[in-house]
Structure 1
Amino acid sequence: MKEQFLLLIETQQGLLHKVCNLYGNSQQDREDLFQDIVLQLWRSYPTFRGGAKVTTWLYQVALNTALTRLRKETRTERFVELGPEAFQVPAVEGGPSEEMAAMHRAIRRLSQVDQALTLLYLEDCSYREMAEVLGISETNVGYKLHRIKSQLRTLISLA
C-alpha cells in the first residue's frame, strides 16, 4: 500500500503543486501546504475505493485541505496574491502576451473558490469531476462557470 501511495504522489505531484501554487503566497507556504495535502491524502488513501477518477479524488482532497487551511488563517495572514506560476502557463518566446497577463490578473481577483473552479476548468475536468471535487451539483458548476466567464470578461475589459 505504501509503495502504491508513493507512486501515486510521484506521478501526480504536478497536480498537487498547481493547487499549492494557487493557494500558497510564498515558497514556504507552498511547501507547507504540499506537506499538509500529502498527509491528508495518506490519511484518506485507505478509504479511496476507486469510485471516482484518481485525479478527481486528488483534487478534492487537495482543494479541501487548501481551503480549510485558508479559513484557519487570520485575516491579516491570508494568502493575498497569486503569482503567475499558479496556473503554470508554459513560457512562450518573447514572454507572455498582454492578453495572458490580463487574464492572470483577472483570475487573481476572483474568490478563492472561483479560482479553484477556474483551475479545474483549465485542466479540462468535466462538469461531473468539478462537481465531485467541490461538492456542488453539476448544474451549479455550469452556473458558476458562466458567472466566472462573465466576471473575467468584465475584469479584462476594465483593465
Structure 2
Amino acid sequence: MDKTEQEFVALIKEYERVIYKVCYLYATPNAPLNDLYQEVVLNLWKAFPKFRRECKLSTWIYRISLNTCISFMRKEKNIPEIVSLTPAEADRSEEWDETQAMLRQLYRMINRLGQLEKSIILLYLEEKSYEEISEITGLTVTNVATKLNRIKEKLRKMKKEE
C-alpha cells in the first residue's frame, strides 16, 4: 500500500462515523445505507488526489458526502419504491427505549425536509458552527442562521402535527 492509500484509509477510519451519519439521513429502501456509504467512499477516493487542503478536512468530507447522497437521491426519484412485506420497523419501535424512539422521530421529520434543509440541520446536529455550515453549503453565515431558524420552526410544527 503506497503513502496515498495509507493516508486515505486512515482518513476513512477517522471520519467513518461522520460519513455514516450523512448516509443514514439519506438512506431509503432504494438507496440502502451501505450503498450510499460505498458511493461516498468511492467519490472521496476519486477526489482525494485533488484535495488541496484549502478548507478543513471535515468540511471537505461533509461536502463530498452530502453532494454524493443528494446526487444518489436525484437518480433514485426515477426508481419505483420497494415495499417490504415484513412488519415495518416503526412497529417494533415499542421495544426500543424512549431515546431511540425520539431519535427515530427526529430523523423521520428531518427526512421530510428539502435537500438543503436536511444538510443544514445535519451539520447543526453535528455541532458545526454557522461559519463551518456556511463553508460546506456555500451559503452566507446570515443565510445559514435564517434557514436554521426556519428549519427548527418547521420541525416544531411537524412535532405538533404528529
**Normalized against structure 1, the TM-score is what?**
0.80
The count of aligned residue pairs is 149
Structure 2 letter corresponding to 1:128: E
How far is 1:114 from its partner?
1.2
Higher relative contact order (CA 8 A, sep 6+): 1
**Preserved CA contact (<8 Å) 2:66 2:119:** yes
Alignment of 1:1-159 (within 5 A): 1-26=4-29, 29-77=32-80, 94-96=97-99, 102-159=105-162
CA offsets, 1:97-124, max 9 Å, x none?
Answer: 7765553443232223212211100000
CA RMSD, Structure 1 to Structure 2 (Å): 2.7
Structure 2 letter corresponding to 1:114: E
**Preserved CA contact (<8 Å) 2:25 2:107:** no
State the identity as a percent: 36
CA offsets, 1:52-90, max 9 Å, x none?
Answer: 2111110000000111111122345479xxx89xxxxxx
How far is 1:23 from its partner?
0.9
| Rounded Cα–Cα distance in structure 1 between residues aligned with 2:80 and 2:22 | 19
